[in-house]
Amino acid sequence: MRPEVTVNCAMTADGKIAGRSRKQMRISSREDMERVKRLRSTSDAILVGVGTVLADDPHLTIKGLTFEENPLRVVLDSSGHTPDDARVLDERAATLMVTSEDCQRTWPRGEVFRAGRGRVDLVRALEYLYERGIRKLMVEGGGETIFSFFREGLVDRYCVYVGSMVVGGRGSPTPADGEGLPQDRIVRLRLASADRMGDGILLSYEVEDAERP
């Protein structure tokens, strides 16, 4: 069994989730940020890859919520590159660091779960989250992480806000990077809704061939 997975991200009109410096940029409108806040607060856990922690140093918490009310923060970090003082490890919410079984790293704050050799085994990590009572998981990025979730058939819903701006850059991250899928394994989506939100649009998709939890 695994949690229900919603992938949420924001991209520019030319399909980038950050610019070529890979530093965080504001893409969402005010309305979309409110929606993201609601989605976060109705999730049991929020997950990112270590690339996002190193680039953006996010808190992944919701303003106004207590430690107990905030969703569990989950970081995929196979080799333990998250610095001890990363904001995701602060005292505002609980944090689960997921490393590979080869990694011995621990952190002063935050629990560690080890899954897989070399790189984190996502299926095992999600089974563990389910065992811990996590039923709704929000995956916020970045591109390598989202790609892995799609490749493993672990996405139920994909929400992407398209902001009205162009940043360009062949090396700029996109919602699904990684090595790409072969033609015969393309992930098919069903468009559930398209809503204008400020000066951008929110596209919500269901994944047709997700391996249901």
Ligand X SMILES: NC(=O)c1ccc[n+]([C@@H]2O[C@H](COP(=O)([O-])OP(=O)(O)OC[C@H]3O[C@@H](n4cnc5c(N)ncnc54)[C@H](OP(=O)(O)O)[C@@H]3O)[C@@H](O)[C@H]2O)c1
Q: Shortest distance, CB of residue 148 to ligand X, whole angstroms? A: 3
Q: Does 5 bind ligand X (CB under 6 A)?
A: no
> Shortest approach of ligand X to residue 15 CB, angstroms?
11
Q: Is residue 141 close enough to count as binding ligand X by CB under 6 A?
A: yes
Q: Which 57-76 residues touch ligand X, going by CB under 6 A?
A: 76
Q: Is 163 in the site for ligand X (CB under 6 A)?
A: no
- Cβ closest to ligand X, residue 74 vs residue 207: 74
Residue 41 binds ligand X (CB under 6 A): no
Which residues fall within 8 angstroms of residue 130, CB to CB, at 6 or more apart?
A: 1, 2, 3, 213
Please, which residues bridge with residue 45 across strands?
A: 72, 137
Of 62-70, 77-85, 131-139, 186-194, which segment contacts ligand X by CB under 6 A?
77-85
CB 2 within 8 A of CB 122: no
> Cβ distance 126 to 2 under 8 Å?
yes
Tell me if 32 contacts ligand X by CB under 6 A: no
**Position 22 contacts ligand X (CB under 6 A):** yes
Is 79 near ligand X (CB under 6 A)? yes
What is the chain's alpha carbon radius of gyration, rounded to the nearest angstrom? 16
Told to check if 55 binds ligand X by CB under 6 A, we report yes
Q: Residues 82, 60: contact at Cβ < 8 Å? A: no
Q: Tell me the C-alpha distance between 41 and 76, whole Å.
A: 21
Query: Left (φ > 0), alpha (ψ -120 to 50) or beta: where does 104 sit?
Result: alpha
Residue 159 as a binder of ligand X (CB under 6 A): the answer is no
Residue 163's CB is within 10 A of a number of other CB atoms, namely 22
Residue 127 in the binding site for ligand X (CB under 6 A): no
- The correct pick among 35, 87, 105, 119 for binding ligand X (CB under 6 A) is 119
The helix/strand/coil state of 65 is: coil
**Where on the chain is the footprint of ligand X (CB under 6 A)?**
9-10, 17-18, 22, 24, 27, 48-52, 55-56, 76-79, 81, 119-120, 122, 140-145, 148, 173, 177
